[in-house]
Structure 1
Amino acid sequence: MPLISSSSSAGAQPWLWFAAGLNAAAALLHVGVIVGGSSWYRFFGAGEGMARMAEAGRAYPAVLTAGIAGVLALWAGYALSGAGVFGAWPLLKPALCTITAIYLLRGLAVVPMALASVPQPATPFWYWSSAICLGIGLVHLFGLMAAWRTL
């Protein structure tokens, strides 16, 4: 299978290229959190429980964070496939729709939290991480719409 798909030029879908870069950056950031340890878990809002587990040398924070990094890396691959860098990956269109929906829903999740404050009020982490997810979701949405007929 050729690295660049012949069905569309790799530069034809800049939004999906951008989405792939954002996913890859998020994946690398999660790897950085694992390497950075408890202070990074705290800084990036993972919660005191995760930070304390990392300090105690428990595997759970690193395993969970590595799993998230792996999913984000997979999503970067799907975005690149949608951009035409690779041949079509399995279930490309539904996968990109699902990825887009997850980001958009996560981005909007803070709204009911902020309004209801139940079971606990939204934290600054929820506000800034929701804004980031909403932005990444919109980039995916624009890319999905631009590439829809070629997927």
Structure 2
Amino acid sequence: MRPMLYNLLFWAGIVTFLASLAHIAIIIGGPDWYRFFGAGEGMAKMAEAGEAYPAIMTAGIALVLAIWGAYAWSGAGVIPALPLRRLILIGIAGVFLLRALAGLVLPWLVDHPALAANSNTFWMVSSVICLMIGLLYAFGLKQNWHQLVPV
């Protein structure tokens, strides 16, 4: 058995948990943090006005990322096997890779207010991050496929 430090799903879990924590920090940091991380002026202004939507949306993303991190660690054998982990890990890898592709292409091809709300820097940086995480999941799946028997 290879050491955990060489397990790509272990690292996928770490970066996914860090992304989850970053979203929590954005909620705590408030409007300036929404601006800094490129969430758009609309989200920052809603946070300034004390509206719940930015915090609820950001907390939802943080929760999903934490669950995905748990699935990565389940696939790496750090925590016990979670239900449907093979299928869910395939889905997680796919979501990250599709988000990376969409973020690199859509803002320049589609003129829509929802896409324009975020800065070009946001789309580029977040898409590269999603690409790297998606590749960790994809190659981690390949690396651990034999031990990911359905539960």
Q: Which range, TM-score by smaller chain? A: 0.7 to 0.9
Show the counterpart of 2:76: 83
Among 131, 138, 141, the alignment partner of 2:138 is 141
Aligned amino acid, residue 135 of structure 2: L
Match of 2:125 among 121, 125, 128: 128
3-state SS, counterpart of residue 118 of structure 1: coil
Residue matched to 1:59: 52
Does 2:92 align with 1:95? no
> 2:26 aligned to 13, 20, 33, which one?
33
Tell me the residue number matched to 2:99.
106
The RMSD of aligned alpha carbons is 1.9
The percent identity for this pair of structures is 49
TM-score (structure 1 length as normaliser): 0.88
Post-superposition shift, 1:14?
1.4
CA distance in 2, matches of 1:45, 1:142: 29
Taking structure 1 as reference, are residues 56 and 115 closer, same or farther at Cα in structure 2, changes over 3 Å only? closer
Contact 2:7 2:76 in 1 (8 A): yes
Deviations 1:56-105 (A, max 9, x none): 11111111111110000001100000001122101100100000000000
Q: Secondary structure at the match of 1:127?
A: helix
Work out the CA distance in 1 between the residues paired with 2:11 and 2:5. 12
Distance 1:34 1:115 in 2: 28
- What amino acid is the match of 2:97? L
CA distance in 2, matches of 1:102, 1:58: 29
- How many residue pairs match? The answer is 144
Task: Determine if contact 1:83/1:147 at 8 Å carries over to the other structure.
Answer: yes
* SS at 1:76 equivalent: helix
Equivalent residue number for residue 5 of structure 1:
none
TM-score using structure 2 length: 0.88
Asked if the contact 1:104–1:138 (Cα under 8 Å) also holds between the matched residues in 2, the reply is yes
Report the counterpart of residue 11 of structure 1 in structure 2: 4
Aligned to 2:15: 22
